[in-house]
Structure 1
C-alpha cells in the first residue's frame, strides 16, 4: 500500500473510531458529519473521500463498534484463569462498563438502532451476537446445552447493562448489576464438572 493510501486508510479508521464512540454514547441519530469530522481533527470537506453519505458512515461505524467488542470480551475471559466465564461476567457487568457507554459493548447501545436499521446494520449486529455466543459457549463446553446457556448469558449481560444505565436510582442500578453477576456466576459454577 502506498504512502497516500496508507494515510487515507488511517484517516478513515480514525473517523470510524470517533464515530463508533459517539454513536455508542449518543445514538445513531445525534452526531452530524461536521461534528464527527471536527472531532477526528479533519475538515467537513474531506468526508466524501472516505464515505458515500452520513448513512454509510453510521453503518460502517456501527459495524466497527460491534467488531471492537470481540477482543474486549476475549481479554475479559482470560483475566480469570480459574473460571473464564466468571471473568467475562464480572467484567461485562462492572460499574465501569455501565458508566462508559462510549467505549462499552455496542450490543447494548446499538440494539434499538439495529432493530430499526437497514439490513447492513442488522447483519453486523447479528454477526456480533453470533460471535459472542460462540465465545461464551466455548467457555462453558461442559454445560448440558452450551449454546442455550450462551444465549441466556448474553441476553442477561446485555439486558442488565441496558437496564442499569436506564434507571434513575444509582443504588438500584448497582444492585441490579451485582445480583445478575451473582446469579450468572452461580449458574455457571453449577455447570462446572466436580472433581472426584
Structure 2
C-alpha cells in the first residue's frame, strides 16, 4: 500500500520524535532501530523508507531536538532573564527527565564519536545557542564568550547532576553552577 506524501511526512516526524526521546533516555548506542520504530508505532521495515542509516536518523533527530529546544527557549533580555533561563535548565525536573530534555547533556559523549557531518551540525546548533544567549547580554565578543562559558557550564552541570547517586549532591552541582553563572554575568 502506498502512502500519501503527508502520511509519509507524519510517519517520518513520529520516527524523529521517538528517536529523540529514546536516544536521550538510553543513549544512541543502546537504542536499537527496532525499539525506535516500536516507539513510533511503525514496523521495522518502514525505517529505510525514511532514512538511509541509523547515523542519518541520529543526525536528523539531534538537529530537530536542538532546534525545538532553541525555539522553545525565550529570548533573554538582560542578565536576570538569562539567569532565569539557566535556573530553569538546571532544575530538578530537567535533571530527572532526560528523554524530554536537553540533547546536549544527554548525548554529548556520543555526539563526539559521531560522523563529521553530525558533529558539524551540532557545532552550528551550539553556535545558534551561543548567539541567542549572548544577544540578551550585549551581543559583542565578550558577551559571546560569556554565553559560550555559560552554555558549557550548564550542560556540564546537568550531566554531573544526572550522574551522581544522591539528590543532595545533584542539587549541589546545579546550585553551584547557577551561583557561578550569576557571578559570571555580574563580571
C-alpha separation in 1, matches of 2:121 and 2:140? 28
Q: Which residue matches 2:18?
A: 18
Q: Which residue matches 1:45?
A: 45
CA contact (8 A) 2:37 2:44 kept: yes
Q: Which residue matches 1:194?
A: none
Structure 1 segments of 4+ aligned residues over 6 angstroms from their partners: none
Cα root mean square deviation, aligned: 2.1
Shift of 1:169: 2.3
Q: Which residue matches 2:108?
A: 111
Q: Which residue matches 2:94?
A: 97
CA contact (8 A) 1:143 1:149 kept: no
Q: Tell me, what secondary structure is at the counterpart of 1:130?
A: helix
C-alpha separation in 2, matches of 1:144 and 1:151? 11
**Structure with larger RCO (C-alpha < 8 A, sep 6+):** 2
CA contact (8 A) 1:21 1:65 kept: no
C-alpha separation in 2, matches of 1:58 and 1:144? 32
CA contact (8 A) 1:66 1:124 kept: no
Q: How does 1:75-90 map onto structure 2 within 5 Å?
A: 77=76, 83-90=80-87
Q: Which residue matches 2:29?
A: 29
Structure 1 segments unaligned to the other structure (5+ residues): 192-196
Q: Which residue matches 1:184?
A: 181
Shift of 1:53: 2.1
Structure 2 segments unaligned to the other structure (5+ residues): none
- Is the alpha carbon distance of 1:47 and 1:152 closer, same or farther for their aligned partners in structure 2, counting shifts above 3 Å? same
Shift of 1:22: 0.7
- Is the alpha carbon distance of 1:148 and 1:170 closer, same or farther for their aligned partners in structure 2, counting shifts above 3 Å? same
Q: Which residue matches 1:172?
A: 169
Rg: which structure is higher? 1
Q: So what's the TM-score if we normalise by structure 1?
A: 0.86
Please list the CA deviations of residues 39-74 of structure 1 after superposition, one character each: whole Å capped at 9, or x if unmatched: 111111211211112222222222222222102333
CA contact (8 A) 1:62 1:110 kept: no
C-alpha separation in 2, matches of 1:82 and 1:70? 18
CA contact (8 A) 1:19 1:36 kept: yes
C-alpha separation in 1, matches of 2:111 and 2:93? 24
- Is the alpha carbon distance of 1:44 and 1:142 closer, same or farther for their aligned partners in structure 2, counting shifts above 3 Å? closer
